[in-house]
């Protein structure tokens, strides 16, 4: 039986070896599919102030006048969660999407799609990821998810990352 709960969620993404850090705090819908199997659906809040209302004065003179418009379509993040595997899909805004598959101790797949209005086909970038750890805490409902992984392109490691999801129960 499918049950759903509306909960405040904090999702953070951090890189251990690169200057990347991001936090999204929003409300989400938590669906319980089966015991120990959940779907978490959240809408990423729109990025405000892009392009900047007051651009810096020291911009180069040869910048194009037709800068991209701000993103107005919300991006949806969908996490399929179990104690053994996590799949995270981002879709929306019509330009960029991704899907990560993580399973503890396994090389999974990370796919990124770039869409172009002029070309009718999607461009896909495929990378491998190695899941160092996957932790899911919570008794009946998940309250904390932590995924630590490495991202690889062939034999080149692109980074070491961690995603934390805190669900207020």
Does 146 map to a domain? Answer: yes
Domain count, the chain: 1
Does 64 map to a domain? Answer: no
Range of the domain at 38: 3-46+72-167
The DSSP string of 51-95 is S-SS--TT--TT--S-PPPPP-SPEEEEEEE-SSEEEEEEEETTT
Does 59 map to a domain? Answer: no
Q: Are 37 and 3 in contact (CB under 8 A)?
A: no
Does 135 map to a domain? Answer: yes
Does 52 map to a domain? Answer: no
Does 54 map to a domain? Answer: no
* CATH of residue 80: 2.40.128.20
pLDDT (tens place) for every residue of the chain, 169 residues total: 457 888 999 999 999 999 999 998 999 999 998 889 999 999 876 555 445 444 455 544 554 555 455 545 567 889 999 999 999 998 866 677 889 999 999 999 999 887 766 555 657 889 999 999 999 999 889 999 999 999 999 999 999 999 999 999 8
Does 57 map to a domain? Answer: no
């Amino acid at each position: 039986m499918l049950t759903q709960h509306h909960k405040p969620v904090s999702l953070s993404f951090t890189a251990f070896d690169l200057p990347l850090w991001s936090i999204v705090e929003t409300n989400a819908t938590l669906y319980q599919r089966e015991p120990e199997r959940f779907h978490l659906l959240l809408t990423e809040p729109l990025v405000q102030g892009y392009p900047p209302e007051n651009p810096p004065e020291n911009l180069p003179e040869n910048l194009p006048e037709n800068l991209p418009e701000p993103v107005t379509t919300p991006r949806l993040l969908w996490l399929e969660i179990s104690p053994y595997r996590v799949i995270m899909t981002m879709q929306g805004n019509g330009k960029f999407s991704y899907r990560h598959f993580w399973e503890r101790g396994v090389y999974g797949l990370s796919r990124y799609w770039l869409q172009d209005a002029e070309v009718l086909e999607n461009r896909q970038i495929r990378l491998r990821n190695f899941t160092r750890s996957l932790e899911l805490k919570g008794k009946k409902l998940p309250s904390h998810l932590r995924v630590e992984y490495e991202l690889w392109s062939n034999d080149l490691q692109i980074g070491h990352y961690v995603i934390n999801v805190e669900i207020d129960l």
